[in-house]
Chain A
Amino acid sequence: MRSLIVLLSALFFLSCPQAQSVMDTIKRYPILDQGRIKPLNTFARESAYEITGRENPFTMTGIEFLLMLLDNPDKVTLHNFIRLDNAELKTEFGFPVKEKYFNFQQFLKQPNLSSLFDQVREKGNRKEKLSPRDEAVRKVEHSLHLISGIMSGELLAIIPDKTDPAKFLPLSSLEVRQDQEQMKLVSSFVKIARGYNEKTPELMLEGTNEFSSSLSGKWNPSPKQISQFDQEVFYLDFKPYRKAALFYGFSLLLIGFFLQFTTQSMLKTMAQACFWVGFMLHTYALGLRVYILDRPPVSNMYESVVFMAWAAALIFLITQWRRFDSIYHLSASLCGCLTLVMADLLPMNSSLGVLEAVLRSNYWLIIHVMTIVASYGAYTLAAVLAHIYIIMSMTSRSPQTIKSTFKLLLNSIYVGSVLLVAGLILGGVWANESWGRFWGWDPKETWSLITFLGYMAVLHARKAGKIRELGVVLWSLICYILVIMTWYGVNYIIGAGLHSYGFGSGGTHWFWLFVVVESSIALISGWILTRKKKPQAIAS
């Protein structure tokens, strides 16, 4: 029944072009959320994502979901749209484990809900590790907070403050309630929501016109802000990262096909073209983020993953200038595609957020963090090449191809190491500028050093003749685990130190899975390949 209602509401809007333009206007209304004035669209999508796990839940868009929540509360609280995945918590609540979505009332009926929330919050305050079930409790609390905050209007800070142009007041605030003019804004917004829920476009149009006209005198965005708003709405709808991943994927398929089945140079050119399109989209997406937020795009895990992929692609393009190595091309496409898909699928916060106080120094942030993340890009490229090297050695490709792959791998390690050590030193310079000391054995900087030492150990061992080509390849895989530890593990597994603006929990099992898989690949392939080489050596 519920889904039928939802479906009907969607059909109603699809059939009405006028409603589309109304929606476009509503999407661009300003809201103050988490310290930033953003389009209502962004808030709606982020809230929808937090609550339902999708930015466009069911057949609705984010903004439609928001308007639905503003409907008659008795009805809305009975719709099943709050997502809960954790089986343990479902059993605890007495919910059917097979179901994914539950309604507001079901949660409120839980007798110990608030003490459960308190327990987990206290655990978080004590900086204890949270179990997946605790994380789920936190998520439920956040979802319920969002829903009740939207329903009551507490979270909808869309009414411009009279004295402070950078401030917006929530629909429910006392100041707004006491002001006739501001109440007009509230009632016209309520009209929009009612129009949507009662499926009367006329009422919505009326509400929108009223709201827009009362807003225009009170909020005067600069032309830049208007265009930033447009770009932000576009960014979220267009999803350029996904499209970039798609093109990297095409490029990967084409070059794979070329390597395996044919020598048609057409395919090669097409693969190159696809890679370039992917890279352009990728660059465009990064640029959009920079433009919208007025800051470099490297402040959280999601942004650094995406930037890492871009750096890897850039390093590939520079080192491949006017040359073509199909194996290298394959690695770069794989790296770009895989990373972007991963960034999209993993539960990372991709929202457009503000910066922690410590990061508010754009100049050093750009140089230090970007250099470090770019080094991760080079190391990732090296790791992909290492995997391909192993596969090629197993399938007995021509020694010449294997050799050239090794050279590319070595070069990637060089690039990565130079960038890492430069980034480390720049970090020291930044630390000296902002903390008054160059080096303080902070876990993040220490792990960066460990990574560098690891790769240097491999290079020195090669010089000393302790290991040869294969050894370098296998050990570089182990060193890549260090990279991931520095990048992800320090924040999520060790969880201490001054770089604490990036802390979190969750996903640790993925990290350990990665460690186990990579070490086994190194171990097993090392064992197989050394056995395979020995008889050849004897024969020669």
Chain B
Amino acid sequence: MRKAHPITRLLGSLNLAIFTLVFLAALLAVATWIEGQHGTRNANLWIYKTAWFDSVLMLVFINIFFATWLRYPFKKHQTGFVFTHVGILTILLGAFWTRQVGQEGMLSMFEGERGNAIVQDGTILQVTSRGQKLLELDTDHYEDKDRVLNFSLASSQERIRILKVSAHSEDGYRYTESKIGIRNMPAVRFSLTGSMSQMKDQWLSLHNPKVTNPAVLNLGVATISLEKLEAEELAQSFTVPSESMGTLIIRKQDTSEPLARISIRDLQKDAVLLADGSRIEFMDYYPFATVQQNVLMNDPEERFVNPAVRVKITTKEQKEDIILRFQRIPDFKSSRETITDYSFELLDAEPVSKRAALKVILSDGKWYFVSQSRSGINTGELQIGQAIPTGWMDFQFTLEEAIEQARPEKSIRMLTKTPGLKSVRPAVRFELLEPGSDKGVEYLIQYGDEIPTLIGDLPITVTYGPRLLYLPFSVTLNDFRKIDYPGTTRAMSYESDVTVTDPGSSPSQFDKTIKMNHILIHRNWKFYQADFEILDDGREISRLQVGYDPGTPLIYLGSIVMIFGICLMFWMSPKRTQNTDPSEESCAV
């Protein structure tokens, strides 16, 4: 045991070791609790990836370092101790090394796409000019206050003021009259008022509904829609379509000539006796049949026009059975049907939707409405500002604005709270300040967008989006597969076939399949299959986690040394483990 400065002895003391062990354990317990409550991202942001957490680990390092150093020169019985603690030091060194120069990110690609930009943690507002980065701000760590940032553009000092960073913003559209342009379509603004609820400034438009407001608004109790019709179609839409319950065709098996054609409406009134003595009785009729959770019912939303009829057949021999037929799926038969010598078919049923609806119709430069409710149909010409009773509860419909040739314009709103399920994007409001003045032009930028503009005559681009890191080579996704366990949708494996293209290596191009437990390693960059997404249109996106982790060999080495040391310490010197006299150790305290 060497003589040492009191501070060194304190830093290497067992007391400090006990303190750091307990403190680190408690801290980590809190961190996992935070992760459970607030998600992995926040746990990283608040604890694991902070400087103060690094310093706690540094304290562990210092403590172990001095504890080992104080025991130098080592005695034979301390071999286990030395191995263990030098092992831990090596592991920590490896971890710090990774923390300093390591990189982590996500590479998302469509099938057939080639990529080399990985997305890292952080949301970056960036100002560039002709590809040159002038300014970068990570808004994840931005405190919500006015802040003026400087950047230099062509040797002059420019200033940008960040007014507000919001984690949520919403896209909206307004419409203006426009005589020119080919993409102009009709749009209307209306309000719906009733004693139960109110709706104001709602737009309907015939533009592409994926981009702007839709043409049909489903309110649950009713739908409101916008249509454009020719004059001859207009008259038709003012009349109630006729309803038919259809006809049931019954054939003896193996004959083409029907045994009977029975109108469902007649059958509803009275049972029918067939020529061969069998009797058909009406049971149910479903104009909008749907099967939900194994129960046959009428679809309350009337989304599927699929009439179905259920009848009871009693043969001459008094055998009974229940037959169910769908008009749209004639081949579908219940597995329970026991009478199989007849075939049944439902034809010509034309149900009419009884749902309440209001249509705004543009025809020949004039606006009309068709309002359908339980009390019947109501039609007429529409005037702006005129309230029309809809017939559903006490709702009144008012047309506020009607534009024949409307052009949509995007409008962004910043939100203070997450609004329900709507997809929202972060946004930043900023000002580019005039030289020598406190005023400037205000802009609003949404995540994923870029704003090109001019300062003086020099072009600059402001972008807002993820932090990107460019790999020194590129990866092409050739194919992505999700393989399921047979007969289930449970994933057995996810696999991505990729091609790596790197002019700086030989071979400059090679193929590899990345899947669970089969990662791609190239130039110390590791790629593993992390996630995938299948879009509505069937296109597949594969997400690869990308990491650059140079400290791993040190960690492996340290681990081996540590485990060897622990085993030595616990079992190779039984005298020490059995001897509970702590006098020798307490010297260090």
**Chain A positions near chain B (C-beta within 8 angstroms):** 32-37, 73, 114, 117, 148, 152-153, 157, 164, 166-168, 171-172, 174, 177, 354, 356-358, 360-361, 364, 407, 410, 414, 417-418, 421-422, 425, 428-429, 432-439, 441, 443, 446-447, 449-450, 453-454, 456-457, 460-466, 468-469, 482, 490, 493-497
Contact = CB atoms under 8 A, between A and B. Distances in A.
Nearest to A149: B294
Contacts of B40: 496-497
B36 A469 contact: no
29 contacts: A32-B486, A35-B490, A114-B293, A114-B295, A148-B294, A152-B335, A167-B487, A172-B335, A177-B333, A177-B335, A354-B485, A357-B492, A361-B517, A417-B566, A421-B566, A425-B559, A429-B556, A435-B519, A436-B519, A436-B527, A436-B546, A437-B526, A441-B31, A457-B18, A462-B580, A463-B14, A464-B589, A469-B580, A496-B40
A418 B494 contact: no
Nearest to A453: B25
Interface of B: 14-15, 17-18, 21-22, 24-25, 28-29, 31-33, 35-36, 39-40, 43-44, 48, 95, 98, 104, 292-295, 331-333, 335-336, 484-488, 490-494, 516-517, 519, 526-528, 530, 545-547, 549, 552, 555-556, 559, 562-563, 566-567, 570-571, 577-578, 580, 582, 585-586, 589
B493 A428 contact: no
B492 A360 contact: yes
Contacts of B25: 450, 453-454, 457, 482
Given A177-B333, A357-B492, A434 B516 contact: yes
A42 to B, nearest CB: 15
Contacts of A166: 486
Contact of A357 (B31, B44, B494, B528): B494
A205 B580 CA distance: 74
A360 B493 CA distance: 8
Given A152-B294, A449-B28, A496 B333 contact: no
B342 to A, nearest CB: 17
Given A462-B580, A490-B32, A453 B21 contact: yes
Contacts of B36: 443, 493-496
Contacts of A437: 104, 526, 547, 549
A441 B48 contact: yes
A457 B566 contact: no
A421 B528 CA distance: 25
Given A464-B15, A495-B36, A457 B95 contact: no
Contacts of B527: 436
B517 A434 contact: yes
Given A32-B486, A114-B293, A360-B493, A460 B556 contact: no
B57 to A, nearest CB: 11
Most chain A Cβ neighbours within 10 Å, of B14, B32, B44? B32
A435 B585 contact: no
Most chain B Cβ neighbours within 10 Å, of A407, A438, A482? A438
Contacts of B44: 441
B496 to A, nearest CB: 13
A468 B365 CA distance: 96
A428 B554 CA distance: 13
A439 B104 CA distance: 13
A174 B334 CA distance: 10
A410 B314 CA distance: 81
A494 B486 contact: no
Given A441-B43, A454-B25, A462-B580, A447 B32 contact: yes
Contacts, number: 174
Most chain A Cβ neighbours within 10 Å, of B294, B331, B563? B294
Contacts of A438: 98, 549, 552, 555
A371 B25 CA distance: 22
Closest 5 CB pairs of A and B: A35-B485, A436-B526, A494-B36, A465-B582, A464-B14
Contacts of B556: 429
A361 B485 contact: no
B516 A357 contact: yes
Contacts of B578: 407
Contacts of A354: 485, 490, 492
A33 B486 CA distance: 9
Nearest to B485: A35
B487 A422 contact: no
Given A357-B494, A434-B528, A418 B566 contact: yes
Contacts of A358: 516
A442 to B, nearest CB: 9
Contact of B570 (A172, A414, A429, A433): A414
Contacts of B566: 417-418, 421
A83 to B, nearest CB: 21
B545 A414 contact: no
A496 B21 contact: no
B485 A36 contact: yes
Contacts of A73: 336
A421 B566 CA distance: 10
Nearest to A455: B21
A446 B486 contact: no
Contacts of A450: 25, 28-29, 32
Contacts of B18: 457, 460-461, 464, 466
B183 to A, nearest CB: 39
Contacts of A468: 580
B582 A422 contact: no
Most chain B Cβ neighbours within 10 Å, of A357, A410, A446, A469? A357
A432 B292 CA distance: 46
A31 to B, nearest CB: 10
Given A168-B487, A421-B563, A463-B14, A439 B95 contact: yes
Contacts of B545: 435-436
Nearest to A354: B485
Contacts of A429: 556
Given A114-B293, A414-B571, A435-B545, A422 B43 contact: no
A462 to B, nearest CB: 7
A494 B32 contact: yes
Contacts of A454: 21, 25
Most chain A Cβ neighbours within 10 Å, of B18, B494, B577? B18
Contact of A364 (B486, B517, B580): B517
A9 B294 CA distance: 30
Nearest to A118: B293
A355 to B, nearest CB: 8
A456 B104 CA distance: 32
Contacts of A172: 335
Most chain B Cβ neighbours within 10 Å, of A117, A361, A456? A456
A32 B21 CA distance: 51
Given A418-B567, A463-B585, 12 more contacts: A34-B488, A35-B492, A114-B295, A153-B335, A167-B486, A357-B491, A421-B566, A425-B563, A436-B526, A447-B32, A453-B24, A465-B585
